[in-house]
Structure 1
Amino acid sequence: MSEDLDNEIEAIRAIYDENTIRPTSNKTIYIFSIPPQHDVSVRLHFPTTYPADDPPQTRGVESTGPNTAKGYGSHVLGLVDQVLESVFEPGTVCLFDVVQELQSRLSSGREDGPTSPADDVDDEGVATAAAAAEPTISMTAPPPPPPPSFSPSNSPKWSTSPPLTTLKSTFLARATAVHSPAAVHHALAHLHATDKKTAKATHVMSAYRIRHDGATTYEEDCEDDGEAGAGGRLLQLLRLMGVWDVLVVVVRWYGGVKLGSERFRCVGQVAREAVVRLREGG
């Protein structure tokens, strides 16, 4: 399995849940269950040329729910084929876009025909990864520290997820608009200085993406803050959601019980909620 596919699957499972996509004994075939109901599962084959050249390919219906109408599984399988054909772009992972488009069509009854090229924003107001061209990357050194005092006029406007508590650990995410690394530094410093709970948190993970010069260059970076691998997963989430000029911060208060890979699902879930709320203006 390629690193791109590995990262994509981890991000999808973090955004939704472990049952959304799961491996089989065949290393190239996965069971894909359309969230949130998971009432239809199909087999997806990922060729070795994905995502560079070829899209995933369906290999039949795996299962349907007990209350699923006869023939609905085959109908959804055909719809998955349509969506894969319409959203895949060589060189770009597409599973997040596939899930979003399937959910949109199944919930609205718009179950045929490709997505319009103008539909570069999903039903939650988040630009899709397929619409986000990958320009030249430009990484920069951290900016100098901001002044120690803050005022209401320069306070970041955060969108906040509901807290998520599991096995005594609590996760909470915030997202805000940023347009420079200096703004990222300022927002993080402001959060630490003005929120006592964040200052006392076990981990404060973050990631950002900023686009410059008419999408010809961009900057992105992430921070684990001791939660190894979490920052990279946050950055991958932003890439899959296709968002730009956004900083997302996830805070974890450790409750004394190790969560294993479950912690990444929690990080992804609250982060996605914060970004969606930011795009919706909430």
Structure 2
Amino acid sequence: MSANDAIQDEVTSLNAIFDEGTLSALDEDQRLYSLRLPSLPSITLRIEFPADYPDAPPSVLGTQSVGQDVPKGMGSQAVDVVREVLARIYQPGEACIYDLLEEAREALEQAEEQGDIQLHDQQDAHLEEDKTSLIQSDPAIDLGPEPPWIVAPALTEKKSVFLARAAPVSSPAQARQYVAHLLATDKKAARATHNMTAWRIKGFNETSYQDCDDDGETAAGSRMLHLMQLMDVWNVMVIVTRWYGGIHLGPDRFRIINTTAREALVLGGFAKEGKESDTKKKGKK
């Protein structure tokens, strides 16, 4: 496979996994591309691929564009982080941009938590804390009664903690209300790194609703929704809360997220043990 073929494969897969335009050509002849960071969509990097990619690594030349909402100096700091991650994760002969984006996101989060960099303006940095007080003080938002959560045992992996909860729901509005209730009444959940959500609901006249929210953990919500589809569960929502522990988990975090989500669904009686595996077996025939 030529370098151009390898690059095009990455363009196709990345733009399908993330948003369209995540990896875009600036000059195909020179193998220059722009790379938008899903965790920092206001920052776009300038990437150059070598003629023998993936046998040789790409180069991060600098920033292609930086949004006005990005704090001063954040663009160059992001470049430094991404370069460090690239040097660490690149393996000769293996395409690396997907892993680069995933590992860079965690590295940027860790650097911000340690105070080494500032990803957002101060106003944005306090957004999550303000969100709870706004919900509580706004009389137009009716939190309703305590949702009937079924909470699975917490799972800890390399200091990151994952906690899944599931509840029956009959409408998208009720699902959103349950999320608002959790964030307004549970300070630990409100301050967590991510609260990833997915739900599947059957309504009247054979209508159905399916939705998910990554809450900053790119592709996690859609993976949870896919799990629910495999398990064939309906009229239920599941939330997986993650508190980041400062150690990168890489793609393995998606396995942990789905494991905890599945346990909450099974504990709640929304799915029988083995239904997911039965579905997979049928699909292999």
- Please state which band the TM-score falls in when normalised by the shorter chain: 0.3 to 0.5
* Structure with higher RCO (Cα < 8 A, 6+ apart): 1
Report which of the two structures shows the higher radius of gyration computed on alpha carbons. Answer: 2
